[in-house]
Amino acid sequence: MAVSKAVTIASSALLLAALSSQGVFAAHVRPAGTSHSGPRYGGTLNVGVDSDFVTLDPALSSALIDRQALINIFDPLLKLSPTMQVEPNLVTHWTISNGGKTYALYLRHGVKFQDGTPFNAQAVVYNWKWEMNPKNASPRISDLTLVKSLSTPNPYEVVVNLSAPYTPFLSVLAGRTGMISSPTAMKKEGKNYPDHPVGTGPFEVVSWNPEGNLVLKKNPYYWQKGKPYLNKVVYTPIVEPTQEYDALLTGQEDLIDSVPYQDVNSIKSQPGIHSEVMNGLGTTSLELNTTYGPLKNYHNRSAINYAINRKALIDLIFFGHTKPAYSQYPPSSWAYNPNLKIPYSIADAKKQLKLAGDPHGFTVTLQMENDTTDEQMGEAIASELAKVGITVKLEPLDFTTLLTNAVDGNYEFNILGWSGRPDPDQNSYAFDTTGGSFNFPKYSNPEVNKFLLQAREAPTEAQRKILYNDAAKIILQQAPYIFIAYTPVIQAWSSKVEGYREYPDDLMRLANVWLK
Amino acid sequence: MAGFIIRRVLNLIPVAFVVLLVTFSLIHIAPGNPAYTILGDQASKSAVQLLDRKMGLNRPLVVQFLTYLNQVIHGNLGRSLLDNEPVASLIVTRLPVTLELSVLAIALSLAVALPIGVLAAYHANTWVDSLSRVLALIGAAVPNFWLALLLVYVFAVSLRWLPSLGWVPLNQGVGQNLEHLILPVVVLALPLIATTSRVLRGTLIEVLHLLYIQVARAKGLQERTVVLRHGFKNALIPVVTVVGMQVGLLLGGVVITESIFSLPGMGQLVVDAIFDRDYMVLQGSVLFMAMAVLLANLIVDLCYAWLDPRIRYN
């Protein structure tokens, strides 16, 4: 119902590589007030998630929700810190050479899969070759398109040769492409592997019922000694947001992946419940088809950009629990620039309409998901734009139709969020460059192409940040997208849950969690 | 009788054909492609085409439909496009939930509606009747998703008497199983209670004015026997018709109720299949549900003969 859900579903279809990482954060995450008693072993954690899992094979998963389970079954090669920086995990260190085209990855020794077989360079290469084989229809293939060759000089080293420099490659290794399955289990299970996945993570799969519940238990081979603390984790998909929230209040669940925005204030007064609102990775935004109708003219797009009162929309939809957005790089990203913004100004909007030659406005059709929140947002946008003479016709659609129309360019203007990824490249390159796979506005600007390509190849974060900002300024001004708000991450858990930490990528890492 | 049953079963065939044709056309008219659900939108055009070919989705629609029809005639509902599970086994794993939910909802609706209907008819146009009318109006008018959330708020969140959602299979404890079903069953039964009780009231009032009832009274039979034995049984035929038709209505309500209460039944299967454009699962489950409704109606027709021995099927 809430935008969080729209965005979750959006991205589960919009999929992409995913970010993710391992919650192997150690003692410093221990919450205040628990220092006198150390972690307690045992117990079952009940976790509510907002949709059904689709597959548990990281090589086949494209739904966003799958990552909630995968992050705990599979330890990715690299992990993300709470500030979304890439850190060593199963890959302990790496070197980049040959102008950014050769990556040597050094693997941790002594790691075993949950079936007791060793984790090594052969396993990594076996997984990637499987994913790169088009016959297997793996969504991971898009992360690996630049891979020219793979080699294993020794059992603990993988050398990756890329056909072009690609700085975000390390971030890819912290997502599903970095989640390695046991080749023995893959061969043994064949087509049934997605129901019986075997990884290196803190928890292994016990059962995945058709009823929707997923049960995990402690992995006895886990490489971090003494972890995890929990014996069992049970995931229950709850598609109705109010019901998920109620399940936490009644104690049926101990931890839930989202809280409806309208309940965020009341949850604070609930005894025995903790909740945190955090900047996420995604944005709630509008896409404007730049090749068709009145929005082909950039002054008309710009008029919309000025005429939308982001603050009012945030109060209406998010109950004030987030910040207005002006770019694809949210406050949780190192590429965020707080100074990039445009004012809410009816006068400027009217000026732009005059420049476009449409001083009395025009009529456009806005497509959105047929979901309470999105329709509410559509109505609010229509009433704001009516103030400058733009008539908005609303066309609510089911999500698959909305997305198909966007892919086919069969729309003028739509509401389509993006769940976001930790590396800025993953939030911009495919969206903004000419012919990019997510460039539904069909926007094309040689300068933006140049900046974003350079950012892929630039070796340092500081250099990349400048390039992303240069591109972001053009995008804001040209308005192929109009960014409304950064999507917040809001999770909640019972006070008997200890050692839990919320991350901007929304993934619930459970290796450090224990029950009081 | 046997001839009647055979004819009715044969009638299922053209209906099944129409159901398949309509479902197939509707889901194929809707934009979208299961290949995108599987591969993701970043998938290259060539990868999508390859998968389309593998799943046979690149062939002309007529060919796809006839191939599917041929499969179904041979008793094969095909496999899910998404996870390759046989559609029949997906239905079998989901069926117990929906079946239990529907049977309990109908049972509850009858247990409540029949006494209310009889009382309202016997005390027609008194306060008893008015009260039952108000209750029926509420039952028919309240949207079930709203009622579901309200009941959860009262009985799960505030009073903590019942679980707010979820499902426990029967073999893991009958008590727990029923506990999880109380709220969804009440939500589903309420509109049924409303209709059934009003229909029974209407017919029973008519019946109670018939001559043979006066004869029964004149014979000095107890009022109780007059109403229940002579009146009630003869007023049941329209009620049975309504209950039969409600099976279809119920399956519609099940879709929403299962999704609110996270019950893993047929309703959720259908909804997921629509969103994922899993043509095979959708066609198979809609066909199955349509057949279930038709069979329920056949059983209703057979009940007529039992209720009224004057009815003969030839």
B264 neighbors B95 (Cβ within 8 angstroms): no
Among A405, A432, A425, CA closest to A169? A425
Contact with chain B for residue A52, Cβ under 8 A = yes
Do B44 and A398 count as a contact with CB atoms less than 8 A apart? Answer: no
Are both B123 and B36 inside the same structural domain? no
**What is the distance between the alpha carbons of residues B92 and A205, in angstroms, rounded to a whole number?**
24
**What is the distance between the alpha carbons of residues B272 and B277, in angstroms, rounded to a whole number?**
8
**What is the distance between the alpha carbons of residues A343 and A265, in angstroms, rounded to a whole number?**
28
Provide, as residue numbers in chain A, all residues whose Cβ is less than 8 Å from the Cβ of B92.
none
- Which residues are within 8 A (CB) of A209 and not within 5 positions of it... i.e. 6 or more apart? A215, B264
Q: Which of residues 54-83 of B touch A (CB under 8 A)?
A: 54, 82-83
* Any domain includes B40: yes
At position A127, the amino acid (one-letter code) is: N
Interface residue of B91, B262, B285 to substitute, partner A, most A CBs within 10 Å: B262
Are both B116 and B16 inside the same structural domain? no
Cis peptide before A88 (omega within 30 of 0): no
Contact with chain B for residue A170, Cβ under 8 A = no
Chain A residue with minimal CA distance to B40? A15
Do A398 and B47 count as a contact with CB atoms less than 8 A apart? Answer: no
Chain A residue with minimal CA distance to B167? A211
Residue labelled with tokens 């698959």: A400
First CA to last CA across chain A, in angstroms? Answer: 33
User: Domain total for chain B?
Assistant: 2
Query: To the nearest whole angstrom, how far is the Cα of B300 from the nearest Cα of chain A?
Result: 32
Do A246 and B157 count as a contact with CB atoms less than 8 A apart? Answer: yes
Are both B117 and B258 inside the same structural domain? yes
pLDDT, residue A210, reads: 60
Cis peptide before A228 (omega within 30 of 0): yes
pLDDT, residue A211, reads: 61
Bridge partners of A78, per DSSP, are A88
pLDDT, residue A14, reads: 37
pLDDT, residue A102, reads: 96
A352 neighbors A302 (Cβ within 8 angstroms): yes
Contact with chain A for residue B224, Cβ under 8 A = no
Q: Number of CB pairs < 8 Å for A and B? A: 128
Do A240 and B41 count as a contact with CB atoms less than 8 A apart? Answer: no
pLDDT, residue A150, reads: 96
Provide, as residue numbers in chain B, all residues whose Cβ is less than 8 Å from the Cβ of A250.
156-157, 160, 163-164
- The token duo for B288 is 């199955």
Are both B152 and B191 inside the same structural domain? yes
Average pLDDT per consecutive 10 residues, chain B (314 residues; last block may be shorter): 82 88 88 76 70 82 90 89 86 90 94 94 92 91 90 90 87 89 94 93 90 86 85 87 86 86 88 86 91 86 79 66
Buried/exposed code over B148-182 (b: 16+ C-beta within 10 A; e: otherwise):
bbebbeebbbeeeebbbbbbbeeeeeeeeeeebbb
- Domain positions in chain A are 279-488
Superfamily of structural domain A279-488: Dipeptide-binding Protein; Domain 3 (3.10.105.10)
Bridge partners of A46, per DSSP, are A234
Pick from B43, B44, B167: CB nearest A211: B167
Contact with chain B for residue A139, Cβ under 8 A = yes
Are both B155 and B193 inside the same structural domain? yes
Which one of B73, B108, B135 terminates a domain?
B73
**What is the distance between the alpha carbons of residues A152 and A438, in angstroms, rounded to a whole number?**
34
Contact with chain A for residue B51, Cβ under 8 A = yes
At position A188, the amino acid (one-letter code) is: K
pLDDT, residue A21, reads: 32
3-state helix, strand, coil in chain A (%, to 5): 35, 20, 45
* Any domain includes B88: no
Among A380, A408, A497, CA closest to A48? A497
**What is the distance between the alpha carbons of residues A458 and B14, in angstroms, rounded to a whole number?**
66
Q: What is the CATH number of the domain that holds B262?
A: 1.10.3720.10
> Rounded to whole angstroms, what are the CA distances from B279 to B70, B271, B284?
16, 12, 8
Q: Give the domain extent around B34.
A: 2-73
> Rounded to whole angstroms, what are the CA distances from A489 to A96, A275, A318, B304?
33, 10, 11, 59
Pick from B42, B84, B149: CB nearest A437: B42
* Any domain includes B122: yes
Q: What is the interface pTM, i.e. ipTM, of the complex?
A: 0.71
Q: pTM, whole model, 2 decimals?
A: 0.81
Question: Within its chain, how far is the Cα of A201 from the centroid?
Answer: 20
B57 neighbors B34 (Cβ within 8 angstroms): yes
Do A243 and B260 count as a contact with CB atoms less than 8 A apart? Answer: yes
What is the residue-level pLDDT of chain A in tens, covering all 516 positions?
333 333 343 333 333 333 233 333 333 344 444 445 689 999 999 999 998 888 899 998 888 889 999 999 999 999 999 888 899 999 999 999 998 999 999 999 999 999 999 999 999 999 999 999 988 888 888 889 899 999 999 999 999 999 999 988 999 999 999 999 999 999 999 988 998 999 999 999 999 976 678 999 999 999 999 999 999 999 999 988 889 999 999 999 999 999 999 899 888 888 999 999 999 999 999 999 999 899 999 999 999 999 999 999 999 999 999 999 999 999 989 999 999 999 999 999 999 999 999 899 999 999 999 888 899 999 999 999 999 999 999 999 988 788 888 888 899 999 988 888 899 999 999 899 998 888 999 999 999 999 999 999 888 889 999 999 999 999 999 999 999 999 999 999 999 999 999 999 999 999 999 999
Chain B residue with minimal CA distance to A242? B149
* Any domain includes B154: yes
Are both B148 and B57 inside the same structural domain? no
Are both B276 and B158 inside the same structural domain? yes
Do A142 and B40 count as a contact with CB atoms less than 8 A apart? Answer: yes
**What is the distance between the alpha carbons of residues A345 and A308, in angstroms, rounded to a whole number?**
8
Cα atoms found within 13 Å of the Cα of residue B129, Cβ hemisphere only:
13
* Any domain includes B82: no
Contact with chain B for residue A241, Cβ under 8 A = no
E strands of A199-338, at which residues?
Answer: 203-208, 214-218, 232-237, 255-256, 273-288
Provide, as residue numbers in chain B, all residues whose Cβ is less than 8 Å from the Cβ of A246.
152-153, 156-157, 164-165
Q: Which of residues 11-40 of B touch A (CB under 8 A)?
A: 30-33, 36-40
**What is the distance between the alpha carbons of residues B17 and B65, in angstroms, rounded to a whole number?**
11
Strands A44-49 and A481-494: unpaired
**What is the distance between the alpha carbons of residues A226 and A231, in angstroms, rounded to a whole number?**
12
Interface residue of B53, B81, B165, B277 to substitute, partner A, most A CBs within 10 Å: B165
Bridge partners of A515, per DSSP, are A497
Do A142 and B169 count as a contact with CB atoms less than 8 A apart? Answer: no
B151 neighbors B183 (Cβ within 8 angstroms): yes
* Any domain includes B83: no
pLDDT, residue A27, reads: 36
Are both B27 and B112 inside the same structural domain? no
Contact with chain A for residue B47, Cβ under 8 A = yes
Are both B63 and B136 inside the same structural domain? no
Are both B112 and B57 inside the same structural domain? no
Are both B69 and B99 inside the same structural domain? no
**What is the distance between the alpha carbons of residues A111 and A173, in angstroms, rounded to a whole number?**
17
